[in-house]
Amino acid sequence: MLVVAYDNRSEIEIADSILEELEDAMVRTLLHQEIEVECEVSFSFVSTTEIKELNREYRDKDAVTDVLSFPMYEAFIRNRETIIKNNPFLPLLLGDVVICIEQAETQAQEYGNTLTRELSYLSVHSILHLLGYDHMEDDEKSQMRRIEKEIMGDD
């Protein structure tokens, strides 16, 4: 159901068990959203320096962030059936996810989470972005947070 192409450009080693948890979180997200075709995601782990550069280049924000998502399709949710139907190739490329592992570690400590739990949440969050969800407006934010909680099993 999901092909993930990992690229670790950070200096922090990511255990296979963590990658398995991330893939599980991403698959749960696709199932929750009723995406029933094989999909592919490019998934990179980067340093604080690199994510800051990417954030500045693509979002005009000169700051470290935890995750950036680069969807292949701008309005996937609204046009999901057309995109899937008109794409003769599988897996369907959803886009790219870039996570700053150092920032994820910091956030995990701040929120009292394990690194695995924090990375799983960021994976769910990113896949939702690749599927067209956003959190710029309050109603979008509350919808996205509700979905994230359902997928993560949070009360």
Give the contacts of 139 (CB within 8 A, at least 6 positions apart): none
Confidence of residue 155 (pLDDT cuts 50, 70, 90): low
- Interval 23-50 mean pLDDT: 94
Among 50, 41, 36, smallest CA distance to 19 is for 41
Question: What pLDDT was estimated at residue 84?
Answer: 79
**Is residue 32 marked as binding?**
no
Is 129 annotated in a binding site? The answer is: yes
Q: What is the mean pLDDT of the chain?
A: 91
Domains and CATH numbers, the chain: 2-152 (3.40.390.30)
State residue 106's pLDDT score.
Answer: 96
Q: What is the mean pLDDT of residues 20-34?
A: 95
- Is residue 40's pLDDT more than 90? yes
Does residue 136 carry a pLDDT above 90? no
Q: How confident is the model at residue 99 (pLDDT cuts 50, 70, 90)?
A: very high
Is 22 a residue whose pLDDT tops 70?
yes
Q: Give residue 36's pLDDT.
A: 84
Q: Give the model's confidence band at 109: pLDDT under 50 very low, under 70 low, under 90 confident, else very high.
A: very high
Is the bond into 88 cis (omega within 30 degrees of 0)? no
User: In the chain, which ranges are E strands?
Assistant: 2-8, 39-46, 67-71, 92-100
